[in-house]
Structure 1
Amino acid sequence: MHAADPRRGYLLGLSAYVIWGLFPLYFKLLAAVPAPQILVHRVLWSALCGLLLLQFWRHPGWWRELREHPRRLAVLAGSGLLIASNWLLYVWAVNNGRMLEASLGYYINPLLNVLLGLLLLGERLRPLQWLAVGCAALGVLQQVWQAGSLPWVSLVLPLTFGFYGLIRKKAPVAALPGLVVETWLLAPLALAWLLFGPQATDAGSAGWSGSMLLWLIGTGPVTLTPLLCFNAAARHLPYATLGFLQYIAPTLVLLLAMFVYGEPLEADRLLAFLCIWIGLAIYSVDIWLNLRRSR
């Protein structure tokens, strides 16, 4: 096993979160393609690319372990449906002028993970974590009060990703084999949609250029690249330290939404962001203090 290299870990971690943060630039190129169809291509090309990668990054015995423990296949089927739902909603939000809501959702995500740990894993929250979650809840309630309805995009995105992470945390399957199996379990549904879905008889898709098809094929490696960078970074950095980098992605999405795609950040939404940011600052301080104590 190679020794940890923090500098390499930071570079890999930064690469993962910057790529995730710049995803809107890629998916905006596919704005003419309906979100379900983008998801179908993302699943199919990720499945193919993942299978090719497994030929180079060996994970000895992963398939034998799955055969010996078939319940893990059912778990991966569930996690696959969750991540597919997350991908679908994210692409839809990006291409329908809801990037600010998507950004807010991924700011909420780490605080939601803390809450899920409390409710489902029996973890105990430290006082600062309670305060951080309270600030996030205040931001959500403020949006409900102002808009008169739940900010559903900002809640469904972290919920699907949070439960996905929770399932994968409990499933003893390595990251790349797990993702490959998830996409292969989704592949029959994706193929059925591609062959028999509403777009199968849509003349509009037949008029796509060759470059559009290349962009759709590219969703496979674009999906897998940051995941591989992230998992490689996790081998060189403490997980808590890597967690500090996670705010890069929603910050880039926020900046793109405001300064590239012209989504307005109204005062009421800014107040919700401020509540979430304060909660994240408190959460980060708590992680830093706990890291120092553990050392």
Structure 2
Amino acid sequence: MRPDKRAASSGGLLFGVGAYGAWGLFPGFFPLLKPAGAAEILAHRIVWMALLMVVVVAALRRLGDLRRITGRVWLLLGAASALISANWVIYIYAVNNGHVVDAALGYFINPLVSVALGVLIFRESLNRAQAVALTVAVLACAVLTLELGAPPWISLGLAFSFGFYGLVKKVVPTDPRVSVGIEAALAAPFALAFIVAGAVAGQSAFLSNGPWHAALMVLSGPVTAIPLLLFAVAAQRLPLVSLGLLMYLTPVMQLSWGVFIGQEPMPPARWLGFALIWIALAVFTGDAILRTRRESTRQDLGEPTLDEGKQR
């Protein structure tokens, strides 16, 4: 790997860890927004995030980028906005209704969706260790799914909505900060209309639960925007295979939260799936470390790296 590509990959890894680590802490935040329902919380996330992103994009002097966006990219950003909104409302419902473990299962399945999209659409390849890690992860997801005894609709909804969101973000050429802002802005009119309608009908929890609750609802915007910005950068710098396997960080944190803090049931089959996921992570991480060391050694010796050898 050339130095510039290696630097981009390393930077992408840091951004990815930041995004998935932040998402892993979300089960501790959204219950604080009760008694607001999932739809109202989603609407406020979108509106406050949109306002924040307008300030960010303006401060970075990137408003001019809007004029250079083609019709195709606007359609892609519209699709991304719809997909991430669907993902958010499913996740908020799960966390605020005692289904954190189900949400974690969704994000265990999500990397499989991303890896499959990377292989099928972008023709990304798997080396032997990555294939082993993915096989173990498939087995873990099968064990966890069978344990539920019913189709895991929450899990599948989260996995596929975010998997396709990552696919769209991979092909959007717009600056990540601008694209995230546009996604929020496209959904903001619908979210604002929902908030106004709820207030008129007397069903809004925003201003009826004290200033602390209102402040938390406003804070949901920045809490939403920051990991999305980190993810947008990581999606452009990392292959979908690496990005997909890195996603395991979030469900590991969420599952730990659901079990040890939320006291959700954890029968032996779920513990088995949890152990298999860690095995998959260990194989993937070990392979990544070994490959990095081998490529560094080749560069030190003046030999072509694996990527350069393939190009010759």
Shift of 1:284: 2.9
Residues 47-78 of structure 1: per-residue CA shift (max 9 Å, x gap): 00000111222337411211xx1221111000
Alignment-derived partner of residue 226 in structure 1: 227
1:265 to 2:266 alignment: yes
1:111–1:280 CA contact under 8 A, matched in 2:
no
1:192 to 2:225 alignment: no
What TM-score results when the alignment is normalised by the length of structure 2? 0.79
Alignment-derived partner of residue 23 in structure 2: 20
Shift of 1:261: 1.9
Amino acid at match of 1:91: I
1:30 to 2:33 alignment: yes
Alignment-derived partner of residue 40 in structure 1: 43
Shift of 1:103: 2.1
Gaps of 5+ in 2: 1-6, 297-312
Shift of 1:171: 1.1
Q: Could you say if the C-alpha distance between residues 250 and 60 of structure 1 is closer, same or farther in structure 2, counting changes exceeding 3 Å?
A: same
Q: Secondary structure at the match of 1:29?
A: helix
Alignment-derived partner of residue 131 in structure 2: 130
Q: Could you say if the C-alpha distance between residues 233 and 152 of structure 1 is closer, same or farther in structure 2, counting changes exceeding 3 Å?
A: closer
2:224 & 2:114 partners in 1: Cα distance?
22
Q: Could you say if the C-alpha distance between residues 161 and 173 of structure 1 is closer, same or farther in structure 2, counting changes exceeding 3 Å?
A: same
2:200 & 2:278 partners in 1: Cα distance?
44
Q: Secondary structure at the match of 2:258?
A: helix
Q: Could you say if the C-alpha distance between residues 291 and 232 of structure 1 is closer, same or farther in structure 2, counting changes exceeding 3 Å?
A: same
Q: Could you say if the C-alpha distance between residues 227 and 144 of structure 1 is closer, same or farther in structure 2, counting changes exceeding 3 Å?
A: closer
2:226 & 2:251 partners in 1: Cα distance?
18
1:21–1:252 CA contact under 8 A, matched in 2:
yes
Q: Could you say if the C-alpha distance between residues 43 and 23 of structure 1 is closer, same or farther in structure 2, counting changes exceeding 3 Å?
A: same
Q: Could you say if the C-alpha distance between residues 150 and 223 of structure 1 is closer, same or farther in structure 2, counting changes exceeding 3 Å?
A: same
1:177 & 1:11 partners in 2: Cα distance?
20
Residues 190-242 of structure 1: per-residue CA shift (max 9 Å, x gap): 12222336x7524463633222111111111111223445667899x988998
What is the CA RMSD across the aligned residues, in angstroms? 3.3
Shift of 1:290: 3.9
Moved more, 149-158 or 87-96: 149-158
Gaps of 5+ in 1: none
Amino acid at match of 1:191: L
1:163 & 1:245 partners in 2: Cα distance?
16
Count matched residues.
Answer: 289
Shift of 1:16: 4.2
Alignment-derived partner of residue 201 in structure 1: 201
Q: Could you say if the C-alpha distance between residues 47 and 242 of structure 1 is closer, same or farther in structure 2, counting changes exceeding 3 Å?
A: same
2:33–2:213 CA contact under 8 A, matched in 1:
yes
What TM-score results when the alignment is normalised by the length of structure 1? 0.83
Amino acid at match of 2:95: V
Q: Could you say if the C-alpha distance between residues 48 and 210 of structure 1 is closer, same or farther in structure 2, counting changes exceeding 3 Å?
A: same
Amino acid at match of 1:120: I
Equivalent residues in 2 for 1:1-295, closer than 5 Å: 15-59=18-62, 61-66=64-69, 69-196=70-197, 200-203=200-203, 205=205, 207-228=208-229, 246-295=247-296
Q: Secondary structure at the match of 1:207?
A: coil
Shift of 1:9: 8.8
Residues 62-117 of structure 1: per-residue CA shift (max 9 Å, x gap): 11211xx1221111000111111111111111111111222233233334321111
1:108–1:276 CA contact under 8 A, matched in 2:
no
Q: Secondary structure at the match of 2:280?
A: helix
Alignment-derived partner of residue 308 in structure 2: none
Q: Could you say if the C-alpha distance between residues 164 and 294 of structure 1 is closer, same or farther in structure 2, counting changes exceeding 3 Å?
A: farther
2:123 & 2:68 partners in 1: Cα distance?
28
Shift of 1:182: 0.7
2:110–2:244 CA contact under 8 A, matched in 1:
no
Residues 143-180 of structure 1: per-residue CA shift (max 9 Å, x gap): 34333323232332222111111101111111110011
2:77–2:179 CA contact under 8 A, matched in 1:
yes
2:169–2:232 CA contact under 8 A, matched in 1:
no
Q: Secondary structure at the match of 2:214?
A: helix
